[in-house]
Amino acid sequence: MSPTTHLDVATRKGLFLLQRAADGNWRIDGTAFLAESVTMVLRDGRDGLLYAALRHGHFGVKFQRSSDGGAHWEECATPLYPDKPEESDETTPWSLDQIWALEAGGVDQPGRLWAGTLPGGLFRSDDRGDSWHLVRSLWDRPERANWFGGGYDHPGIHSICVDPRDSDRVLVAVSCGGVWQTEDGGDNWRLTSEGMFAEYMPPERRHDPTIQDPHRVVRCAGDPDHLWASHHNGVFRSTDGGNSWSEVPNVAPSVFGFATAVAPNDPATAWFVPAVKDEHRIPVAGQVVVARTGDGGESFEVLRAGLPQEHGYDLVFRHALDVASDGEELVMGSTTGNLWSSQDRGESWQAISHHLPPIYAARFS
Amino acid sequence: MASVVFTPNLERHLSCPTAEVAAGSVRHVLREVFAKNPRLRGYLLDDQGELRKHVVAFVDGRQLSSKDGLETTLGSDSELYVMQALSGG
């Protein structure tokens, strides 16, 4: 297990590259794209390349790549939706709005990248972002007509989990369109939202697997059949590779949230950052806390040491909580620009910064 | 020849000097510009080839309508200004 040496933070106003200082604390070592919206970052452990997805307010989405750790960048290809058929009557625009998820393919697939996007397309690159292809086998599924926006106006893919045992097995999660899996690198897809439900929907649609709203799905690296999901209705867990899901009702102080992390070395240990549900989306009672289970969701501890406990209105977005490969260290970034780390599995938190731009993603590598 | 002038804000991202192109529709004129500057297309047009939501264009001082604006015809002495909208920042 290689030690964690980098922490990359994508924000509303730029990319921040942190390194661990001699005293063990994280320091901002570099910046890029200041003032630009950076929706996602990926440092590829296979070849060291660093990728950043930008969302210019006026000029659209752009995809950037650095081969020297962020000192220099080059614009590479941007995923491009095909021409919308003239006969199509769907309201979803066939135009890239945001790269919402970005993951490396398997170690046996050098150069392969997966990009999940708004308005719902999954893209694949096999040449480190020099070109992209819309995965039509998912985009053309008739069930996509049932998808709808969750938080954003249109559907989006925010979670991509490559199975470390078999790189052709990939799970993606859609807000709002359920959980989908391929076993052949994306040629065919299965809808695997069984067990998820949505109490906020009309009764006859509550168990409809095509409209489920998983906010975030993560896979345990060391035990890949175990996955956790924050869903609009609450927390769900799978112990069979994401084929079926069961509710985890005991999350305190609330079951609603976005950020989700699972210990890479213990599938029963997971972290969440609860909030008041639905349209409120602020911490319960103005107290920023992390909920942790160590027993597969049977019980939860509410962890708050070092976090604001009075008039705290930080929301932690779905990609802004990460756990390091040692299963001990965590990082969490908020919409208020707070960036915290924990060295003790979330028991206590130390601020890295209190004044970054709103944080979209924080990733260890 | 018609002139095509781009907002200097684009220069933060890529070079796009004023271009002189043969008159025609705005869509045609932009296509000519993109032929020499392919990266520029994705900055101004969405995936379906329409002006981005927060990009605006003026022909001889008149803002193009969002509907069918790209079909507006430029004369040989027209000026096309391509700007960023005040929205979208």
CATH number, domain of B73, equals 3.10.20.30
Domain span holding position B36: 2-84
Query: DSSP readout, A134-151?
Result: E-HHHHT-GGGGG---SS
Q: Which residues of B touch A56 (CB under 8 A)?
A: 13, 43
Would residue B70 count as lying in a domain? yes
Q: Please name the member of A58, A59, A96 whose beta carbon is closest to the beta carbon of B47.
A: A96
Q: Which residues of B touch A75 (CB under 8 A)?
A: 14, 39
The H or E element spanning position B26 is: helix B26-36
Per-residue pLDDT, A1: 52
Per-residue pLDDT, B89: 66
Would residue B89 count as lying in a domain? no
Q: Which residues of B touch A57 (CB under 8 A)?
A: 54, 88-89
Prediction ipTM score: 0.93
A98-132 pLDDT, tens digit each: 999 999 999 999 999 999 999 999 999 999 999 99
Closest CA to A329 of A351, A309, A347, A356: A347
Specify the DSSP class assigned to residue A365: -
Q: Smallest CA–CA separation between A88 and chain B, in Å?
A: 13
Q: Please name the member of A57, A75, A78 whose beta carbon is closest to the beta carbon of B88.
A: A57
Would residue B30 count as lying in a domain? yes
Q: Which residues of A touch B52 (CB under 8 A)?
A: 58-60
Q: Which residues pair with A348 in a beta bridge?
A: A305
Q: Confidence band (pLDDT; 50, 70, 90) for A278?
A: confident
Would residue B60 count as lying in a domain? yes
Closest CA to B60 of B13, B15, B5: B5
A156-215 pLDDT, tens digit each: 999 999 999 999 999 999 999 999 999 999 999 999 999 999 999 999 999 999 999 999
Number of folded domains that form chain B = 1
Q: Is A57 on the interface with B (CB under 8 A)?
A: yes
Q: Which residues of A touch B14 (CB under 8 A)?
A: 75
Would residue B41 count as lying in a domain? yes
Q: What's the order of all strands across the beta sheet hosting A156-163? A: A156-163, A166-175, A178-182, A190-191
Q: How far apart are CA A164 and CA A170, in angstroms?
A: 9
Residue A271 contacts residue A311 (beta carbons within 8 Å): no
Q: How far apart are CA A66 and CA A69, in angstroms?
A: 6
Would residue B33 count as lying in a domain? yes
Using omega within 30 degrees of 0 as the cis cutoff, is the peptide bond preceding A119 cis? yes
Q: Confidence band (pLDDT; 50, 70, 90) for A9?
A: very high
Q: Smallest CA–CA separation between A91 and chain B, in Å?
A: 14
Contacts of A222 (CB under 8 A, 6+ apart): A264, A265, A266, A267
Q: How far apart are CA A3 and CA A209, in angstroms?
A: 39
Closest chain B residue to the Cα of A59, Cα to Cα: B43
Cβ-based burial of B35 (10 A; exposed 0-12, middle 13-18, buried ≥19): exposed
Residues of B at the A interface, defined by Cβ within 8 angstroms:
9-10, 13-14, 39, 42-44, 46-48, 52, 54-55, 84-85, 88-89
Residue A298 contacts residue A254 (beta carbons within 8 Å): no
Residue written as token pair 């509710």: A247
Mean pLDDT of chain B: 93
